[in-house]
Chains A and B, each alone.
Chain A
Amino acid sequence: MRKTARLALLAAGLLLLAGLAGAAPKPLTFALSGNPDTLDPQKTAGTLTFQTVRSLYDTLVEPDPQGKLVGALAERWTTSADNLSWTFTLRKGVKFHNGDLLTSKDVKASFERIKAKEFASPKASEYAAITAIETPDDATVVFKLSAPAAPLLAALASGWGAILPKSLIETGHDFANKPVGTGPFVLKEWVRDNRIVLAKNPDYWLKSMPRFDSLIFQIIPERAVQVQGLIAGQIDGSDIIDQEDVAALEASGKVNVQRPLTALILVMAMNCSKPPLNDLRVRQAVNQAIDKQAILDVAYGGGQPIGTFMNYGNAYYKDFASLYPYDPARAKTLLAQAGVTKDTVFEMVLPSNYPPHVKAGEMYQEMLVKVGLNVQIKQMDWPTWLKDVYTGAKYDFTVIGHTGKLDPDGTLGGYGTEKRYVRWVNAQTAELIAKGATTIGYENRRKLYDQAMEIMAKEVPFVFTGTSYRRIVTNKRVRGFRMDPVLDTFDFRYTEVQ
């Protein structure tokens, strides 16, 4: 009798265990390379934040996989004949995580929040053209502009264009720690420097999405640890895998590797205000001393060389890559003509927090030494680099990657004037770029940008090196993972987990 009871108890226990295992499928764990500084999408410029909040918030429009902007929270939109009034019609029945229904008032409150001077958002200037936001009814928002502003649509599609609920904005809710949006997932837990746990939003406006229940961002700064985690199956995905690790990962047989192009513009910038770099011949010589493909392959794990200041694959990209081919002999001749000798010391400043740029810097330096230049490397921490190099232009050469922008003005804006860190002044280019920002329509803008990019390609304020590939590695049980083009954020809505 006693024996039977014990057996029955054991059987019940086993059943319970089996039931628990069945009820909680393994969540999807994705590696995040650092802790986001905040989860308030309007309060930061940090990519880590946008990579996280992409799953918590939605924007009026969003890029499709090809980079074309399509409706998201807005079903459709029209612009007036003078381009000074943009009308968005909102999707019906969208609910915030707190239960509020999305209305045009929320959109107005969100953009007024990011534009407010006292709020001091680093992205406020992107909405500067908006002079008034009108809400004729719950489903309609009208943006009134001071001047035609082509880049505004891209600003509405970016992570910082997130829509927050008006009721919580008014009560001063702590969005930095407790995000509330309309997104496909809801924040469950954020353990600083460890993990961010999200759960499926059952009321998401895209029906039957997301397609899995639980998403964990595991914060793993060390790349080697991410690789081991992928091989061991402890994490399901990472977007920052080095080319060198791909062989070991593929050998494990557990993962799929994708190699899409990034939207980066990898460059070695030159300070054109400092002699002898103000001499075009010297800048040409520097360009011809560099083997771009070698730098892309070794330092950045492969990529496409470019010839002007636009990422390869961008709709506005124009190819000038063959203008100054790799030719060290020609570089030496040009340097001799310009009278540059070993007595001129060039300082190459490298941001020490970006190992690929430091590695590339070592290669640039060696290539420049080979044509007879005297180049000294100096590493700097990131805040000092931003202050001394990017703002103060205290450098001769520096190596950096410009992140791609959804709108070409985000990339080119300000170049040709004193404002940009290369200190390259060219009135014609500056005028073309300024005109491009107020011109509407792809074909019209393309004509202007083609000219501007051609001048930049010929005058070479940079060594335009190229656009690298990224390596997205996911466990074989994960399907349909997407990254938003240009924005570098993760779109988990179409992802399926087995």
Chain B
Amino acid sequence: MIGGQAARRLFYAALVYLAILGAAAAAAPWVAPHSPTEQHLDRRLAPPGGVHLLGTDNLGRDLLSRTIFGSRSALLVGIVSVAISALLGSLVGLVAALSPRAVDNLLMLVMDSLLSFPTVLLAITVVSFLGYGLVQVMVAVGVIYSPTFARLVRVETLALKTEGYVEASHALGTPLAKVVFRHILPNLLGKVVVQCSITFALTVVIEASLSYLGLGAQPPTPSWGLMLKDARDYLAQAPWMALYPGVALALTVLCFNILGDALSERLNPKL
């Protein structure tokens, strides 16, 4: 394990990177030096330096601009699909925990069967069925990751249900909805936020994988996965094509994981 001081530094470094990433994604049209889709056919596979700071790809598109705009696809898919899985999963988990045994079993059976599929394969199946595109990827990934949230929320709720203050509130005749909102949800929040951060890293990887396979972002939309796919054929001649999206992807995933770990220590202190 990394010691307290180092861990804190790592946490702040991750925060700074993610803040920069978020800012770059939000301000992409103003930050990017070129259009991410404009092709300069006379400057194909230009090495880094000069007009194109990070070089160009096989169609003469500016790699810096594409990497910056690519963060939008990654973050958008991350935010939307994490939101879908957190909402859907928490709802299912909550209902399961508060329902009679039979309903609980049924809901968890459905969730467990979703969990039993390899994630990427399930995502490919869903996207092949719905059609290729980022929207479809968001829906697919959102649904696929909901069981983790459902499991988490169900277990926590079952534990909270037996806490003295919750039982007391229930015994005093407080309506169920009020109990849920006042006592259960606030106590779940920390764990769910940590799970969100970890899931975010996973969805970024899935988006890149599906785009790499041609099932996610459709060209010419810039996406790191799509850029890596384009780069694959030019690894020998233009290694820089793979470098930036690869590094951006790796750093983003790493930082979300660091964030998740740090949050988990802060929000769920172990006594």
Task: Give the interface of A toward B (CB within 8 A).
Answer: 223-224, 227, 242, 244-245, 247-248, 294, 298, 352, 355, 358-359, 361-363, 365-366, 376-381
Question: Which B residue's beta carbon lies closest to that of A223?
Answer: B233
On chain A, the residues within 8 Å of B17 by CB distance are none
On chain B, the residues within 8 Å of A358 by CB distance are 214, 219
Cα separation A224 to B229 with both chains bound (whole Å): 13
Inter-subunit contact A294/B214 (CB<8 Å):
no
Cα separation A378 to B215 with both chains bound (whole Å): 10
5 additional A-B pairs beyond A242-B233, A377-B219, beta carbons within 8 Å, are A224-B233, A224-B235, A352-B132, A363-B59, A365-B220
Task: Give the interface of B toward A (CB within 8 A).
Answer: 37-39, 41, 44, 58-59, 128, 131-133, 214-215, 218-220, 232-237
B126 to chain A, nearest CB (A): 14
8 residue pairs A–B, Cβ–Cβ below 8 Å: A224-B233, A244-B234, A245-B236, A352-B132, A362-B39, A362-B219, A366-B39, A377-B219
Cα separation A285 to B245 with both chains bound (whole Å): 37
Question: Which B residue's beta carbon lies closest to that of A378?
Answer: B218
Cα separation A189 to B214 with both chains bound (whole Å): 35
On chain B, the residues within 8 Å of A379 by CB distance are 132, 214-215, 218-219
Cα separation A310 to B131 with both chains bound (whole Å): 34
Inter-subunit contact B59/A352 (CB<8 Å):
no
Question: Which B residue's beta carbon lies closest to that of A222?
Answer: B232
Cα separation A32 to B59 with both chains bound (whole Å): 28
Inter-subunit contact A366/B38 (CB<8 Å):
yes
B132, B220, B232, B235: the one within 8 Å of A380 (CB): B132
Inter-subunit contact A366/B220 (CB<8 Å):
yes
A450 to chain B, nearest CB (A): 34
Grouping DSSP codes into helix (H, G, I), strand (E, B) and loop, the B interface class, with mixed when no group exceeds half, is: loop
On chain A, the residues within 8 Å of B39 by CB distance are 362-363, 366
Cα separation A380 to B38 with both chains bound (whole Å): 24
A361, A376, A381: the one within 8 Å of B128 (CB): A381
On chain B, the residues within 8 Å of A376 by CB distance are 218
On chain B, the residues within 8 Å of A244 by CB distance are 58, 233-234, 237
Q: How many A-B residue pairs have CB under 8 A?
A: 57
Question: Which A residue's beta carbon lies closest to that of B219?
Answer: A362
Q: Sorted from nearest, which 5 A-B pairs have the closest CB atoms?
A: A352-B214, A362-B219, A377-B218, A366-B39, A379-B132
On chain A, the residues within 8 Å of B131 by CB distance are 378
On chain A, the residues within 8 Å of B218 by CB distance are 376-379
On chain A, the residues within 8 Å of B220 by CB distance are 362, 365-366, 377
Question: Which A residue's beta carbon lies closest to that of B131?
Answer: A378
Inter-subunit contact B233/A294 (CB<8 Å):
no
Inter-subunit contact B232/A224 (CB<8 Å):
yes
Inter-subunit contact A355/B233 (CB<8 Å):
yes
Cα separation A60 to B44 with both chains bound (whole Å): 48
On chain A, the residues within 8 Å of B214 by CB distance are 352, 358, 379
On chain A, the residues within 8 Å of B37 by CB distance are 366
B150 to chain A, nearest CB (A): 32
Cα separation A355 to B213 with both chains bound (whole Å): 11
On chain A, the residues within 8 Å of B215 by CB distance are 379
Cα separation A61 to B215 with both chains bound (whole Å): 44
Most chain B CB within 10 A, of A294, A362, A380, is at A362
A388 to chain B, nearest CB (A): 11
Question: Which A residue's beta carbon lies closest to that of B237?
Answer: A244
On chain A, the residues within 8 Å of B233 by CB distance are 223-224, 242, 244, 355
Cα separation A378 to B219 with both chains bound (whole Å): 8
B236 to chain A, nearest CB (A): 6
Question: Which A residue's beta carbon lies closest to that of B235?
Answer: A224
Cα separation A379 to B132 with both chains bound (whole Å): 7
Cα separation A22 to B146 with both chains bound (whole Å): 65
On chain A, the residues within 8 Å of B232 by CB distance are 224
Cα separation A224 to B234 with both chains bound (whole Å): 9
Inter-subunit contact A248/B236 (CB<8 Å):
yes
B240 to chain A, nearest CB (A): 15
On chain B, the residues within 8 Å of A294 by CB distance are 41
B216 to chain A, nearest CB (A): 10
Cα separation A358 to B219 with both chains bound (whole Å): 8
Inter-subunit contact B219/A298 (CB<8 Å):
no
Cα separation A378 to B234 with both chains bound (whole Å): 24
Question: Which A residue's beta carbon lies closest to that of B214?
Answer: A352
On chain A, the residues within 8 Å of B219 by CB distance are 358, 361-362, 365, 377, 379
On chain A, the residues within 8 Å of B132 by CB distance are 352, 378-380
Cα separation A418 to B41 with both chains bound (whole Å): 37
On chain A, the residues within 8 Å of B237 by CB distance are 244, 247-248
Cα separation A224 to B59 with both chains bound (whole Å): 19
Cα separation A381 to B232 with both chains bound (whole Å): 20
B39 to chain A, nearest CB (A): 5
Cα separation A355 to B59 with both chains bound (whole Å): 13
Cα separation A324 to B241 with both chains bound (whole Å): 36
On chain B, the residues within 8 Å of A355 by CB distance are 233
On chain B, the residues within 8 Å of A365 by CB distance are 219-220
On chain B, the residues within 8 Å of A380 by CB distance are 132
Cα separation A365 to B215 with both chains bound (whole Å): 19
Cα separation A247 to B220 with both chains bound (whole Å): 28
Cα separation A242 to B236 with both chains bound (whole Å): 13
Cα separation A380 to B220 with both chains bound (whole Å): 15
On chain A, the residues within 8 Å of B38 by CB distance are 366
Cα separation A361 to B218 with both chains bound (whole Å): 11
Cα separation A378 to B135 with both chains bound (whole Å): 13
On chain B, the residues within 8 Å of A363 by CB distance are 39, 41, 59
Cα separation A177 to B41 with both chains bound (whole Å): 47
A252 to chain B, nearest CB (A): 12
Cα separation A361 to B219 with both chains bound (whole Å): 9
Question: Which A residue's beta carbon lies closest to that of B232?
Answer: A224
On chain B, the residues within 8 Å of A224 by CB distance are 232-233, 235-236
On chain A, the residues within 8 Å of B128 by CB distance are 381
B115 to chain A, nearest CB (A): 27
Cα separation A97 to B214 with both chains bound (whole Å): 45
On chain B, the residues within 8 Å of A223 by CB distance are 233
Cα separation A377 to B220 with both chains bound (whole Å): 8
Cα separation A378 to B127 with both chains bound (whole Å): 13
Inter-subunit contact A359/B236 (CB<8 Å):
no
Cα separation A359 to B234 with both chains bound (whole Å): 13
